[in-house]
Amino acid sequence: MTTLTLHSIKGGSGKSLIAVLSAYELSRRGKKVLLIDGDYNAPCLDSFFPPKGDENPFTSFLSGGSDLRQVIYKTGFTNLFVSYAPSPDLRQEVLRADVRTNGMYLKRILEGLEVAHDKLGFNTIIFDNSSGISLPAINQLSCSNKSIIVLRPVRYGIESTYFQLETIYRKLRYASISSPRNDIIVWNQVPQKVNDAAGSKLAEYLEYWSAQFNKAGIKLGTSIPYMDEVAVAMMGLGELDVPELARILHDHFSPLIDWIG
């Protein structure tokens, strides 16, 4: 079973869209996929897959209030299931939990992954992680055997992400020799409408940082350009059109889906 976490150090990178489209494309390839909204500060799966009622959030499973089956919901797409995050509220337990409580949550996630695979038949679990570094974010990264670090070509986001590698990703990679990690970066929203000089500078900048991440053991997965069509589609009122977004970005997503497997 593949357990994948989408992560970014800075918000606004587009990781949630990549998480959703990855789950959708994998489900189209016949994988049974569970997409979990783990971004407790800014949940958004309800924009892509509007809930039909008052669904139990994934945090209800973490706290022991619900069985895993009670927090998993079918979408309108074959093989694709979701688990929602609660409405953002700084008073919610998961955001105020101490180290000991997060240790309990980590144990629950590991137990849930085993149930999802062995009893519910999921091939792939995808966590849409919260941005930045927090105990819930580290829990989800710790439980995954693959992660996608989503980066926009913005200096402060790239440099702060790179300097977090020693703190998080390298330690995670060597925490379990029997289950090696596989982490990649994805450049997202890369500008295309630039003049030759600016385009050359941008290419040089991305090439330099791709090489730096590669030296740290994190390879380049793919590069996704900024597209007006995507920006307009994301502005739509009501339910976001997942198949249409997938159609627009299909060519750029193919190598990413091949890597996830």
Give the pLDDT of the chain (261 residues) as one tens digit per residue: 899 999 998 888 899 999 999 999 999 999 999 999 999 988 999 999 999 888 999 999 999 999 999 999 999 999 999 999 998 775 678 888 889 999 999 999 999 999 999 999 999 999 999 888 888 888 999 899 999 999 998 888 888 888 877 677 766 765 554 556 789 999 999 998 888 888 899 999 999 999 998 988 889 999 999 998 888 888 866 678 999 999 999 999 899 999 998
pLDDT at position 166, please? 66
Domain boundaries, the chain: 2-255
CA 208 to chain centre: 24
**Cα 180 from chain centroid (whole Å):** 19
Phi-psi domain of 190 (left: phi exceeds 0; alpha: psi -120 through 50; beta: other): beta
d(CA 164, CA 253): 26
pLDDT at 25: 96
Q: Residue 33: enclosing H or E segment and its boundaries?
A: strand 33-38
The pLDDT value recorded for residue 163 is 82
Strand partners, 182: 146
Q: Which fold has domain 2-255?
A: Rossmann fold (3.40.50)
Tokens (6 digits) for 47: 């924009």
* Position 216, amino acid: A
pLDDT computed for residue 256 by the predictor: 92
Between CA 242 and CA 26 the distance in angstroms is 13
Handedness of CA 63, 69, 70, 71 (dihedral sign): positive
Q: Which of 64, 13, 55 is nearest to 37 (CA)?
A: 55
For residues 161 and 148, the answer to whether their CB atoms sit within 8 Å is: no
What is the dihedral sign for C-alpha 182, 133, 14, 39?
positive
Residue type, 112: G
pTM above 0.95, yes or no: no
**Strand partners of residue 128:** 6, 37
Burial class (CB in 10 A: 0-12, 13-18, 19+), 98: exposed
Rounded Cα–Cα distance for residues 18 and 15 (Å)? 5
